[in-house]
Amino acid sequence: MQLIVELLLFGLTLGGLYAMVAMGLTLQYGVARIMHLAYGEWLIAAAFGAYAAFTYWQVNPLITLALSLPVGFAVNWLVYQVLLSPLVRRTQAGPALEVDSLLATFGLLFVVQGVMVVLFGGSYHSYNFAAEAVNIGGALIARNRLIMFGLTVLAGLSIYLFLSRTRAGAAVRAVATAPGNAPLVGIDVRKVSAITFAVGGALVAAGGVLASMFLTFSASMGVIFTMKALIVIIMGGVGNMLGAVVAGLLLGMAETLVARLVDPGLTLAVNYLLFLSVLLWRPAGLFGRPVR
């Protein structure tokens, strides 16, 4: 019984993180149509930021978290304006955009990763924040995981409310579903894309700070987070927020189960197994409608 509660708690908290990170990517890919392969690098960059602030200047990670939102927003807005909008213009946002943006961000991945290796080296880092155990139904879980879970739920809810209840959110949904028709009703597609892309960046930066509170991380781990976020958004159906949340929780649960009961070295294999079964069974994702 205790084991079940523990597995549930660990799976839910890890899944919450994945869901939040994937929500950011589904905004970037589903709305701005950018396949952003350097996405996970920003997560690791934010994690290193929180690590440096905590170990060198004793800054509470929750403060870093609050700062990470505007910084992540600004950095990704710049990335979109400087690096990606020339590609959007060149390809007229056509099908070539996907390949071009993918290649450009693949290059960016190595640049960002290289900078982090130069600054922090290639080894694993972690720090101790709110790591004391809390007893829930007989299972012990670190407090930082609970804080993280609460915050990811908050982030998910606010994104959902923004998209479904506000005028700006409706514009974002319009660009996601019909980028060709959105200008007809006075929506500036380029501007909405840039801002949505930046919001995705803010989410991943916040995810990085949260991840750094309870995970060990290294400069080369960004690729794995990008991979997981991609798998989650494909499982949930590209552009589908609810899908990203459900698929993220599912992935967190599956990983926790395998890491606990089988072997922690096989978590990526689980990712791939889930990815494969979704591709073979429902290529449009769990909640996606098949195209064509």
Q: Is residue 117 helix, strand or coil?
A: helix
| Touching another protein, residues 115-154 (CB under 8 A) | 115, 117-118
Q: In the complex with another protein, which residue's Cβ is closer, 88 or 171?
A: 88
Q: Which stretch binds another protein (CB under 8 A): 68-76, 210-218, 246-254, 270-278?
A: 270-278
86 scored as a contact of another protein (CB under 8 A): yes
110 scored as a contact of another protein (CB under 8 A): yes
37 scored as a contact of another protein (CB under 8 A): yes
d(CA 18, CA 247): 9
Q: How far from each other are the two terminal CA atoms of the chain, in whole angstroms?
A: 47
Q: In the complex with another protein, which residue's Cβ is closer, 2 or 90?
A: 90
Which of 100, 199, 244, 249 binds another protein (CB under 8 A)? It is: 100
The shares of helix, strand and coil residues in the chain, as percent rounded to the nearest 5, are 75, 5, 20
Q: In the complex with another protein, which residue's Cβ is closer, 146 or 223?
A: 223
107 scored as a contact of another protein (CB under 8 A): yes
271 scored as a contact of another protein (CB under 8 A): yes
| Touching another protein, residues 45-74 (CB under 8 A) | none
261 scored as a contact of another protein (CB under 8 A): no
Residue 136 and residue 145 in contact, taking contact as beta carbons nearer than 8 Å: no
Phi, psi of 176 (to 5 degrees): -65, -45
Which of 5, 52, 98, 143 binds another protein (CB under 8 A)? It is: 98
Instruction: Tell the burial category of 287 from Cβ atoms under 10 Å away from its Cβ (0-12, 13-18, 19+).
Output: middle
d(CA 286, CA 291): 13
Q: Which residues contact 80 (CB under 8 A, 6 or more apart)?
A: 32, 34, 193, 194, 197, 198
Residue 12 and residue 253 in contact, taking contact as beta carbons nearer than 8 Å: yes
d(CA 199, CA 175): 15
Size of residue set near another protein by CB under 8 A: 43
Q: In the complex with another protein, which residue's Cβ is closer, 111 or 136?
A: 111
User: Which residues of the shown chain bind another protein in the complex (CB under 8 A)?
Assistant: 35, 37, 83, 86-87, 90, 98-100, 102-104, 106-115, 117-118, 223-224, 226-227, 230-231, 234, 263, 265-266, 268-269, 271-272, 275-276, 279-280, 283
